[in-house]
Amino acid sequence: MSHNSKLLDQFRKFFCLTFLCSSLLVQSQIERVEPPNWWVGFEQDTLQLLVKGKSIGEYVPSVQQEGVRLIRASRADSPNYLFLDLVIAKNVQPGTFDIDFEPKRGRTRSFTYELKPRAQKPEDFKGFDSSDVVYLITPDRFANGNSGNDVVEGTLETVLARNDDYGRHGGDIRGIIDHLDYIDTMGFTAIWSCPLLINDMPKSSYHGYAMTDFYQVDPRFGSLEDYIELSDKAEDRGIKLIMDQVANHCGSKHWWMDDLPFEDWLNFQEDYKQGLPLKTSNHRRTVNQDAYASDYDRKLMSAGWFVSAMPDLNQRNPFMAKYIIQNSIWWVETLKLGGIRQDTYPYPDKGFMAKWAGAIMREYPNFNIVGEEWSDNPLLVGYWQDGAKNSDGYRSYLPTTMDFPIQTTFAEAFKESEKEWGKGLVKLYNALANDFYYTTPNSIMLFGDNHDMDRIHTQMGEEVALTQMAMAFVLTTPRIPQVYYGTEILMQNTAKPGDHGLIRTDFPGGWVEDTVNAFTGEGLTETQKKMQHFMRKLLNFRKTSTAIHTGKTKHFAPHDGLYVLFRYDADQIVMLILNKNEASTALDLGRYAEMGIEGKTFTDVVSGTSQTLGSVLQLDGKGPTLLVHQKR
């Protein structure tokens, strides 16, 4: 080989090596772009991209794409972030385009970004409402459909321990998919799963509320494709999917914690960086409404960390605010959601929460969001519902809140003696009378229990008749009912009241080694089977009952251990009788003459037997009776 040929060969090798290194640098320079994709045709035409990569803040970005304009590139305090504001024209076509990043010296980098077509029209995103019943699932504890993802190497918690109340048990998305038939035939029309995004924390990671990546499904639950499949297959059965989201905090092992974009990305961030004691929230949620609240208490409530393992996100930082709003919209669009449940609603900055809810409801006018305000005071709960006439002028844009005020009356209403004035069922009657305060009572979510409190059967002292009465009330009142998985088979946590791990017990039959299978009924006690039958009858009746969905409500003050409530419209009269008397009781129907029920034929929803009502109705004993008269 000639000297010139050797030089040419060396040059070629050098060029190839340089090109390879440059290509690898392109890949390593940009670690992530979020949102990872977007869609065409939104009402809001701006999009802000978070770009993360080593020294990416030193690059100058540009976009050469018809219909897409880069209007601003914002550097962060960390040199490893850029925030790009794009305007996307209404008529831009779906497809990909390149974002170029030009350094001060060296080769320009490029990243290909995708704009997808929307799967359905904005108005077709139908949110859950009072015609639905929501089934709440703790996914790690419901069913293990794929044992291959029980332990995922590289995650911080890699032990599967079904005997540990606070360990991972292996339930996953596939387990929910596999049992959609059960959920459907029971009569549930919506599923709210506790968070399915990655919670890569060293312990108690099963619950999902300390997210470590807002765009990644936890691989121990499955994949994004699994999540989409769940949504699609649920939709095929007419079941809506509600996503549990968290705008207030993340997990302390979130990917950005090692390199925070801004000095104010978190609340009390300086304390965290200096290793000082963390300021946790005082949990005084009333400061959001209290005209006399101190600035000290207001700040500690909103900015304090929920717990030390959950950094508090600063929604007053405009980049953080945009990030959270876009993340919510990304998931609505990706999963074709039927609703969002927003955790710890009063804890983030309340001005931001109004912007967040407003942004979503503007894009999806028929959508629904329910916010968690754990208070037994209806004044506080009603404050957060859109349309409330708040004295401070605050408008939340939040359609739905949770009815903790009624829920907290159940134990007293059903367990207290009726012999003392103001005790027992009258407390339930008075609680429902507070509906005058709410803008839309039938848009409030009512429940007997959830994943954070004692199960309803434990609350009722494991007395089946009381549990049935509580659930009959939940399913009949003008509300959106939510039922916690396992309520239908009387699951309880009486051995350890208040213990979250036990409250989130495994659903029997969700694991191949289970000897009891509640999905098939195998191994259930006769009492459990009767409760499951009771719930199935009520749920499936409610599924088509127009009177319960949208009808009027009238209730009569409790007397002699009896509380009677009616739901009615042009087609139906539904009569719910809650009876706390142990012995057979004759109910004088003259009290309810204004409802026009005498001489009409009513059918018992559970037993299916019919009778024409006269002046007296004989009740067998303690428990609920649900009767329906079909007018036409």
Question: Where in the sequence numbering do the catalytic residues fall?
Answer: 343, 372
Instruction: Give the whole-angstrom CA distance, residue 365 versus residue 358.
Output: 10
Which one, of 397, 451, 406, lies nearest residue 134 by Cα? Answer: 451
DSSP assignment of 320-389 equals HHHHHHHHHHHHHHHHT-SEEEETTTTSS-HHHHHHHHHHHHHH-TT--EEE----S-HHHHHHTSTT--
CA distances to 493, 530, 622 from 526, in Å: 20, 6, 18
**Could you tell me which residues come within 8 angstroms of residue 531 by beta carbon, excluding any fewer than 6 positions away?**
464, 467, 468, 488, 489, 490
3-state secondary structure of 112: strand
**Could you tell me which residues come within 8 angstroms of residue 419 by beta carbon, excluding any fewer than 6 positions away?**
none
Which one, of 607, 452, 605, lies nearest residue 541 by Cα? Answer: 605
Q: Max alpha carbon distance in the chain (Å)?
A: 117
For residue 35, cis peptide bond before it (omega within 30 degrees of 0): yes
CA distances to 31, 449, 458, 484, 500 from 455, in Å: 44, 5, 5, 8, 10
Evaluate whether 313 touches 269 at the Cβ level (below 8 Å): no
Evaluate whether 444 touches 401 at the Cβ level (below 8 Å): yes
Evaluate whether 507 touches 486 at the Cβ level (below 8 Å): yes
φ, ψ dihedrals at 46, nearest 5° = -105, 150
List the structure tokens of 547. Answer: 């009177």
List the structure tokens of 480. Answer: 């959106």
